Amino acid sequence: MSTASRTGTAPGTVTGAGTGTGAGPGTGSGTGVRRQPVRWLPLAPATLLLLLFLAGPICYCVYIAFTDMQLTGSSHTDFVGLANFRRALSDARFRNAVWLTLVFTFVSSVVGQNTLGLALAGLMRRASRPLRTLTGALVITAWVLPEIVAAFLLYAFFRREGTLNAVLGWLHLPGQNWLFTLPILAVSFANVWRGTAFSMLIYSAALAEIPEEITEAAEVDGASGWRAVWHITLPMIRRSIGTNLMLNTLQTLSVFGLIWAMTRGGPGDRSQTLPVFMYDEAFNKSLIGYGTAVALLLLLVGSLFSVVYLRLMKVEV
């Protein structure tokens, strides 16, 4: 990527994917489109799939969120306006899910993955080769493992009779039944274990782009250690930090399998983040309409983050 052009405006529509209609003749007056419509034909299959299976469901989501659709029982669905959203606002379990989602996102994405990823990337530049390779391989393995396998490993790790308590006992520290006492923290740490590699890769690439002269000049000027990090390194990679925070947060917002497999959102609803709450309302309480209203809120938050991310990236297209 050479010089990135500025993104003047964010994409105008927040309705979802595929708003760019097929590139037939007559769309736009770009010379290429008008003169040779056949050139744009290869876009058709992808555009069709995106419209049918991504834009379609999103539009359907918007529609269902305003109805009282149920999984079972009454066969006809009525339009209920904002009832689902009013219900959410007065629902203590929804507020609990919002709170837990904030905790989960903050602990595992903002603090955990982001900070640990940056620390690892920084340490790897100084460490010896064997340790760099070893740590990198382990962190990336945790990332590549399928979600449910990771959930199973960490479930075993945090159980009362699991490895974490064994290690704590060996250090003469008190253990406890983590999945029962602190379930939201257990799944947050699980998500850190699983997702740190992504931040590590992004930050490794960002740090590698800092010119050697700058770091050397800083050392000559006596700016060492933390001061150099704070005043030189961090400002130089601030765009990567922004991008990484956005992407991490978006990924963390949509974590379902890891939590579902480790705790089912329990005990009670003490690790029930929004995706799990949404699933529970729609399929265990069969309130599809209400579950979809929650899904729509998640989508809106995700869309906001996406737009901010696009602005940050100053994409060169």
83 near 290, Cβ under 8 Å? no
Least CB distance to other proteins at residue 218 (A): 14
Structure tokens at 309: 């991310």
Cβ distance to other proteins smaller for residue 62 or 103: 62
Least CB distance to other proteins at residue 242 (A): 10
User: What are the b/e assignments for 174-204, b being 16+ CB within 10 Å?
Assistant: eeebbbeebbbbbbbbbbbbbbbbbbbbbbb
Least CB distance to other proteins at residue 188 (A): 14
Cβ distance to other proteins smaller for residue 86 or 125: 125
| The dihedral sign for the CA sequence 273, 261, 170, 118 | negative
Cβ distance to other proteins smaller for residue 28 or 81: 28
Q: Which of 96, 83, 58 is nearest to 303 (CA)?
A: 58
Least CB distance to other proteins at residue 90 (A): 21
3-state secondary structure of 1: coil
Cβ distance to other proteins smaller for residue 242 or 270: 242
> Cα 92 to the chain's mean position, in Å?
25
Whose tokens are 């929650």? That residue is 294
Least CB distance to other proteins at residue 231 (A): 16
Q: How many CA atoms lie within 13 A of 178 on its CB side?
A: 23
Cβ distance to other proteins smaller for residue 9 or 90: 9
